Structure 1
Amino acid sequence: MPEDPIMLFSFLNMKLRDMYSSLDALADDMDISAQELENIKKKLLDAGFTYDEKRNQFV
């Protein structure tokens, strides 16, 4: 998974758009723990992005 927040944002949104119905489904399939998922969300929040469940993407 990309370390750079912008690349991470792009990578996750592509996966969410093309393969997963939710962030939880992505995390489950990619074996991302709840703590790791929180760290990812925090990294993206620090870069100005939040997860929008209705759109199933980071915005």
Structure 2
Amino acid sequence: MNGGPHTPTAGGEDSDLAHHLLSDLLVKGVIVIVALLVLAVGMVVVWRTIGREGTRRRDR
């Protein structure tokens, strides 16, 4: 047999595929982490400007 789809070839195609998949996972992970950080900062800004500021004014 000349090698099926799961047989490693001399060109290292399996290694290239694994590298591509790991790179893709890393990029997507970074995107998700940055998006969560932006969301958290946005929530803190909204919380401070709307939620807590009204309470501080009433306490004075």
Normalising by structure 2, what TM-score? 0.28
Compare relative contact order (CA 8 Å, sep 6+) and give the higher one, 1 or 2: 1
Q: Which has the higher strand share?
A: 1
Q: Which has the higher helix share?
A: 2
Normalising by structure 1, what TM-score? 0.29
